[in-house]
Amino acid sequence: MYNPDTRLVESYEEIWIDKQIEKGNVSRNETGNEWAGYAGDYEIGLGIENGKIWAYQVQGGVRKSTELPEHVAQRHLERST
């Protein structure tokens, strides 16, 4: 998985934390290349634009975003087709 801190594709351990939420939703744009959603107090987004994959999350007014480098995004896009 791409690590934005090192700018390398590295192995990783994914840790999930279950969190009860009262409401949430996810929406997709008409062309299907952007998604945005709300889950409890999180806002999340993911998209593909001009061959680049980007993502963001907002919690408590703090936004964290990243964009995969083009060579990494291209490998992910090739796998999905």
| pLDDT grade for 3, boundaries at 50, 70 and 90 | confident
* Closest to 56 (Cα-Cα) out of 37, 69, 29, 33: 37
Say which amino acid occupies 13: E
Q: Which of 29-33, 56-60, 71-75 has the least mean pLDDT? A: 71-75
Q: Where are the domains of the chain?
A: 17-80
For the chain, report the end-to-end CA distance as a whole number of angstroms. 19
Beta bridge partner(s), residue 44: 37, 57
Please check whether residue 68 is in contact with residue 76, taking contact to mean a CB–CB distance below 8 angstroms.
yes
pTM greater than 0.85:
no
> What pLDDT score was predicted for residue 80?
59
